[in-house]
Amino acid sequence: MRSLLDWIDHRTGIRSLTREALFENIPGGSRWRYVWGSTLTFTIFVQFITGIFLWMGYSASSGDAWESVNYIQNEMAGGWLLRGIHHWMAQLMPVLLLLHLMQVVVDGAYKAPREVNYWFGVLLLLLVLALSLTGYLLPWDQKGFWATKVATNLITLVPFVGPELQQLVIGGTEYGHHTLTRFFALHAGVLPGLLVLLIVGHIYLFRRHGITPAEPVTKRDAYFWPDQVFKDVVACLAVTVAVLAVVLWSHGAHLGSPADPSEPYSAARPDWYFLFLFQFLKLPFFAGEKEVWGAIYIPGMAVALICLMPFIGRWKLGHVFNVGVIFVFLGGAGALTYLAKQEDVDGPNSATYLKGVLADTRDAQRVTALARGRGIESTALSLLKDDPKTQGARLFAQHCASCHRYDGHDGLAVELAKAESHDDLAKRTGVSSRFLSGDAVHPDWLARKTGTQDEWQPVKSVLKAKAEGPFDVIASVSPPEKPSAPDLNGFATRQWIRDLLDPDQYLSARYFGGTAHGEGAMYKKFLNRKVRKYDAEEKAMLELVVFALSAEAKLLSQAEDDKADADKIKQGIDHLIDDIGCVDCHAFGEPDPDADGPDLTGYGSRQWIIDFVKNPEHEKFYPDNNDRMPAFGVKKILTDKEVGLIADWLRGDYFEPVR
């Protein structure tokens, strides 16, 4: 073994190299405060290793980036761990960098003869920030897309060449394939290459000039090996354990829904260590054309001031000034970061922000489930665009919710966990819980007592009323107008039809109370005049009619019940025609030109809903007494595909993963 080592050493000189690396003298001996440089080198090592393995699973194109990252995160064995380590280590790096910088400035390690090494360090800091910025876009999710758009739009403010520079950075005038290929080349090639060069230079210069001992030096000198190395590896172990704990707790790293230039994302924020710059640009001083000062000139001057510290430090009070500057910068950045977070969770527009976070989370979960359950034929975004559960709700919110409701909201609400009691609700609404969690309840959102049919109320008013819970809570701001058409949640289900045929419910806001039909024959001649006086036997017949009518819809959710109740449904059809007399006003089974009300044949079925939405004034429905409902198809307000998506969504006819 020894002869082998001798041979290698003869050819390479490895022994003297190792000696040089390990037996560096440390004035005053090893210290815990010297560990930051080594931990940073370690984190960069981890990022290189995890980054290269991520590279093996990543595809940099606008049709593949999200899809490949989703595959890494949710399908690949150990992918979540790999991605989680890369993501969370990147979150830790700015903290370690700042600690390192603070230490260098406070200890005066930037002074002669170490100026060049100090500048290398500043450049390394900027490189790591550039790596973070470029890495943020690579998953191609809504968060990365919109946040990076802001960052790249800032480039247009660069004097003289701004727009051209931006085109070069994003690879064209619009975000697309080449934005990703260019960002990826920077993130995985150019920047790491520069990083390695600078680190080699940084460590070489560090060794050339030696460590700057922290005063006072009370202990004896020692070599780097093994005392300081031991402290360094313990610190690296602490870093690893901390990062692994967060990775396990969060099961990897967040992945939002796929980037979509036509859908808003109200929570577009940079990573937390850029929040101070983000908040800085909100200052009124930088309004209008002065923005370039906040975005480029002042940050540029701050970096220049940091670079000039070695020269400033030569003056009598220069070092004190430098230390003061660093603390002012850090204090200012810290305050701005806090303000940015605070504004998001407790500012006047915090509901918008939190709703953006939740809507994105909902879409991300949905598209991940679709990708897993159905596979991605073209892109993940097209899965979402063709998904009735996603698009039906959006279309309903845009075109229907000004009159209709869906379970009391506009169809886009995000269901949150229950609040078990009034106190629980108050706690979940509190600023501190919102600060920590994106899904914490906002006071503007809605709550109602569990198990009731009460209208949703803003959480604020529930808290004020001090009514005891448990409560269902949803993230949906109360629509400004009162409902003036039926609530379509559960449309054509047995319960929905049962309640429809209850005279009081029919007249409530949940059904036709807000429409002209409240005054129509259905209520006056049938529900009020007959149903109110039904005896037990007639009520039993009406219940069978409910079964029969609901079976017309052929709802997936009721398929088993319909099959089991085939006899009752058959009886119900007889009652519908003969005893209850629905066909006096409605067509059933065959066209009836004299019918006043909607045709009940296939009531609630996909085709029935599509025909109705496309033209409610068709002779099958309300040829003479349609109340405000636009003919969405005839007037080309909605395409056939869009009407189909709404119908499928209302009927719950969409893919659901097997639990």
Residues 6+ apart with CB under 8 A from 384: 257, 258, 260, 363, 366, 367, 370, 390, 391
State the amino acid at position 487 in one-letter form. Answer: D
Nearer to other proteins, 79 or 392 (CB): 392
Nearer to other proteins, 15 or 251 (CB): 15
Residues 6+ apart with CB under 8 A from 85: 46, 50, 243, 244, 247
Give least dist CB 270 to other proteins, A.
10
C-alpha–C-alpha distance, residues 634 and 637, integer Å: 8
Give least dist CB 142 to other proteins, A.
9
CB 461 within 8 A of CB 474: no
Give least dist CB 149 to other proteins, A.
5
CB 152 within 8 A of CB 19: no
C-alpha–C-alpha distance, residues 46 and 48, integer Å: 5
Nearer to other proteins, 177 or 606 (CB): 177
Give least dist CB 80 to other proteins, A.
29
Give least dist CB 268 to other proteins, A.
5
Give least dist CB 222 to other proteins, A.
5
Nearer to other proteins, 5 or 417 (CB): 5
Give least dist CB 259 to other proteins, A.
11
Residues 6+ apart with CB under 8 A from 439: 354, 357, 358, 361, 416, 417, 475
Nearer to other proteins, 273 or 632 (CB): 632
Give me the sign of the Cα torsion angle 397, 400, 401, 406. negative
Nearer to other proteins, 36 or 146 (CB): 146
The Cα diameter of the chain in Å comes to 109
Give least dist CB 100 to other proteins, A.
26
Output DSSP code: residue 441.
Answer: P
**Backbone torsions φ then ψ of 101, nearest 5 degrees:** -65, -45
Instruction: Please name which of 650, 593, 112, 103 lies closest in space to residue 406, comparing C-alpha atoms.
Output: 650
CB 93 within 8 A of CB 43: yes
Nearer to other proteins, 148 or 550 (CB): 148
Nearer to other proteins, 289 or 560 (CB): 289
Nearer to other proteins, 11 or 533 (CB): 11
Give least dist CB 614 to other proteins, A.
13
Residues 6+ apart with CB under 8 A from 522: 506, 512, 585, 597
Give least dist CB 123 to other proteins, A.
21
Nearer to other proteins, 420 or 481 (CB): 481
Nearer to other proteins, 357 or 595 (CB): 357
Give least dist CB 163 to other proteins, A.
6
CB 439 within 8 A of CB 318: no
CB 534 within 8 A of CB 506: no
C-alpha–C-alpha distance, residues 376 and 140, integer Å: 16
Nearer to other proteins, 514 or 572 (CB): 514
Give least dist CB 595 to other proteins, A.
27
Give least dist CB 218 to other proteins, A.
15
Q: How far is CA 306 from CA 121, 318, 332, 526, in A?
A: 11, 12, 15, 83
Radius of gyration of the chain (CA): 33
State the amino acid at position 556 in one-letter form. Answer: L
Nearer to other proteins, 349 or 421 (CB): 349
DSSP character string of 172-186 = SSS-SHHHHHHHHHI
The torsion angle over the Cα atoms of residues 41, 47, 50 and 54, rounded to 10 degrees, is -160
C-alpha–C-alpha distance, residues 6 and 12, integer Å: 10
Output DSSP code: residue 530.
Answer: T
CB 74 within 8 A of CB 368: yes
Listed in sequence order, the DSSP H helices in 430-523 are: 431-436, 459-465, 494-500, 503-506, 521
Nearer to other proteins, 166 or 368 (CB): 166
Give least dist CB 414 to other proteins, A.
16
